[in-house]
């Protein structure tokens, strides 16, 4: 007959050990239920979850990147060494969250469809022309018109002392912004919004959120960019731009192009052209009132194009109805 001695009794066989195991199980169950609740909420409200998580990751990462050393020094990308880190932090938001949301909400089928849209390049030459030329033509037209008022509005590439560097840096930043941002904005947010809204409504909703997403970088650079304007006036004009500015307007054009092509690649190319054109054509050292005049003049020019497309609203709404039925 064997005798079980005290030293062979395992801890889980004691009352204290049993309570520890039960507490661990209770915590694991609570954690699992909490994750299930979060997952269920995200699947019920995918667009809201995407916007919220994107802002948290982008803005949180940017705040860590810039630290507490004050506002941006200068008004150009090369003027502050923290700019590169801030850009990478911002771009992590829409790209990482867009891919995670696609996997969580739509699963493997959604990821396969995501890749097919990314590789869709047979869309017709005219859409490549629209994607590449819309931004530079609109910006150049606005600047040339304003240059009759003041030489301060001459495109930066015309008077830059180092045109090659300006082109290379602008294209590099444009490619990064276009590729990584559109993994989320067009890769996930536009299709999710289009299930409920028309092209026009999707453009306005996403455009406002996209513009608001840029507020933190604008606030960071506000002291240098405000020029002779009071900070409060500059920030008020910047906040107004969230709803009627050129970012909101141009996103409406991007939604329209994507709705016609369903090509994520074309959306990326259109974003690359937009960002690179801004950096290449923006007048050098433009600040204060001149900067706000140019921003709203460019917004007005793009809104004119949007208004011309809006006249074709009935076909857009019919397209929406057909998609819902399908």
Task: Name the band, by pLDDT with cuts 50, 70 and 90, for residue 15.
Answer: low
Instruction: Give per-residue pLDDT as tens, 68-91.
Output: 777 777 656 567 788 889 999 999
With a CB cutoff of 8 Å and minimum separation 6, the contacts of 212 are 242
Task: Name the band, by pLDDT with cuts 50, 70 and 90, for residue 38.
Answer: confident
Q: What is the mean pLDDT of residues 184-200?
A: 96
Instruction: Give per-residue pLDDT as tens, 199-258.
Output: 999 999 999 999 999 999 999 989 888 999 999 999 999 999 999 999 999 999 999 999
Evaluate if pTM is beyond 0.95.
no
Rounded CA separation 93/188 (Å): 13
Number of CB atoms found within 10 A of residue 32's CB: 10
Q: What is the percent of the chain with per-residue pLDDT over 90, rounded to a whole number? A: 72
Rounded CA separation 193/214 (Å): 20
Instruction: Give per-residue pLDDT as tens, 294-315.
Output: 999 999 999 999 999 888 754 4
**Confidence at residue 80, expressed as pLDDT on a 0 to 100 scale:** 79
**Confidence at residue 14, expressed as pLDDT on a 0 to 100 scale:** 64
**Confidence at residue 5, expressed as pLDDT on a 0 to 100 scale:** 47
Kindly give the residue spans of alpha helices, DSSP state H, lying in 148-230.
156-159, 163-184, 190-194, 199-213, 215-220, 222-225
Instruction: Give per-residue pLDDT as tens, 242-296.
Output: 999 999 999 999 999 999 999 999 999 999 999 999 999 999 989 999 999 999 9
SS3 percent helix, strand, coil of the chain, rounded to 5, is 80, 0, 20
Long-range pairs of 151-156 with CB within 8 A, sequence gap ≥ 24: 152/283, 152/286, 152/290, 153/283, 153/286, 153/290, 153/294, 154/283, 155/280, 155/281, 155/282, 155/283, 156/280, 156/281, 156/282, 156/283, 156/284
Rounded CA separation 49/100 (Å): 11
Q: Which of 182, 269, 181, 267 is nearest to 217 (CA)?
A: 181
Instruction: Give per-residue pLDDT as tens, 109-165.
Output: 999 999 999 999 999 999 999 999 999 999 999 999 999 999 999 999 999 999 999
Task: Name the band, by pLDDT with cuts 50, 70 and 90, for residue 2.
Answer: very low
**Confidence at residue 35, expressed as pLDDT on a 0 to 100 scale:** 59
Burial of 219 (0-12, 13-18, 19+ CB in 10 A): middle
């Amino acid at each position: 007959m064997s005798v079980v001695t005290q030293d062979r009794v395992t801890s889980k066989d004691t009352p204290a050990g049993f309570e520890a195991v039960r507490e661990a199980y209770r915590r694991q169950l609570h954690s699992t239920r909490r994750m299930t609740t979060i997952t269920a909420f995200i699947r019920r409200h995918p667009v809201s979850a995407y916007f919220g998580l994107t802002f948290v990751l982008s803005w949180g990462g940017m705040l860590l990147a810039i630290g507490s050393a004050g506002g941006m020094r200068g008004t150009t990308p090369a003027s502050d060494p923290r700019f590169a880190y801030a850009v990478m932090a911002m771009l992590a938001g829409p790209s990482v969250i867009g891919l995670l949301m696609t996997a969580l909400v739509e699963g493997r089928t959604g990821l396969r469809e995501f890749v097919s849209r990314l590789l869709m390049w047979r869309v017709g030459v005219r859409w490549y022309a629209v994607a590449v030329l819309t931004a530079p033509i609109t910006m150049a037209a606005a600047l040339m018109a304003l240059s009759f008022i003041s030489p301060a509005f001459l495109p930066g590439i015309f008077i830059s002392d180092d045109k090659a560097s300006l082109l290379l840096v602008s294209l590099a930043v444009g490619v990064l912004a276009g590729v990584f941002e559109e993994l989320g904005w067009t890769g996930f947010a536009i299709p999710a919004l289009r299930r409920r809204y028309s092209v026009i409504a999707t453009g306005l909703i996403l455009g406002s959120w996209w513009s608001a997403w840029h507020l933190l970088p604008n606030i960071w650079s506000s002291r240098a960019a405000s020029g002779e304007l009071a900070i409060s006036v500059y920030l008020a004009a910047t906040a107004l731009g969230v709803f009627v500015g050129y970012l909101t307007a141009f996103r409406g054009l991007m939604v329209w192009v994507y709705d016609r092509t369903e090509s994520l690649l074309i959306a990326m190319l259109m974003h690359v052209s937009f960002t690179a054109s801004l950096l290449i054509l923006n007048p050098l050292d433009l600040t204060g009132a001149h900067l706000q005049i140019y921003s709203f003049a460019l917004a007005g020019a793009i809104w004119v194009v949007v208004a011309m497309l809006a006249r074709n609203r009935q076909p857009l709404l019919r397209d929406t109805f057909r998609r819902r039925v399908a």
